[in-house]
Amino acid sequence: MDLGVFAFLFPAASFSRCKQEDGNCLLEAITATFRNFYKGVPEIGLVQLDPLRIDKMDIVQGDGPINIVLNFRKVDLTGFQQAEIKKASGFTPNPTKMELDLLVPVVSLIGGYKINGKVLILPIQGEGSSNMTMANCDISLKWTGKLVEKSGKQFYQIDKFKMHFDTTRFYMDFTNLFNGDKALGDNMNVFLNDNWQDILKELKPAIAEAFKQIFESVIGNVFSKVPYSELYLA
């Protein structure tokens, strides 16, 4: 049985058609979506993916050697236009579990920040602009859900959503640390990047939780706006 790739993956006239069991075709199709439709498709609820504007994101780490409250405001998440889809499963006529695994060469979170707390043995505080960048970001998105009926049509409703990521390098740059003391700020940025592995190990659960909410909102918005059967090409 031939099934079209989801319409939200290829809303324009030029698209690929895939058999349900043709996993390679689906991987190529979704990867092409990030390349060609990264600016979003408003009519079906797909927001702009690159840059992805995030009005508010908080990373709170209260235990262990890192104890910080890191607030981001009006930041842009960039790099997803270059995403490569490694796995896509569960996109079936009667979906339950779904999974997307993607590799993004460079992911950056750029914008305003405010931080207060302690990193390893050093206090840290500041408010200004920031850049957090991850190289070779390997992202796994998994969710479960079911079809529910609304107004006589069936929509896919996400129940539980999980996100996991790995990276080969984590870079951090924060301006205006310690009320603009350049010497202290420069030294802290060097310290953060010299100890990125230990810092990321501690922050990883909090970062993953913050990104989980973002990705769940992006994906769930499409599912909530378009009846599931209409996400396929006729």
Structure tokens given for 167: 């990276």
Under CATH, which architecture does the 23-231 domain have? Super Roll (3.15)
Q: With beta carbons less than 8 A apart as the criterion, state whether 167 and 138 touch.
A: yes
pTM of the model: 0.83
H-helix or E-strand spanning residue 95: none
- 190 phi/psi in degrees, rounded to 5: -65, -45
* Other Cβ atoms within 10 Å of 199 Cβ, number: 21
Structure tokens given for 205: 């659960």
pLDDT of 98 > 60? The answer is yes
Secondary structure tally for the chain: helices H, strands E? 3, 9
- 82-93 confidence digits (pLDDT tens): 999 999 888 888
> To the nearest whole percent, how much of the chain has pLDDT over 90?
57
pLDDT band for 120, please (50, 70, 90 cuts).
confident
Most confidently modeled of 52-56, 62-66, 163-167? 163-167
Q: Which pLDDT does position 3 carry in this prediction?
A: 35
- 168-196 confidence digits (pLDDT tens): 999 999 999 999 999 999 999 999 999 99
Higher-pLDDT residue of 89, 139 = 139
136: phi > 0 → left, psi -120 to 50 → alpha, else beta; which?
Answer: left
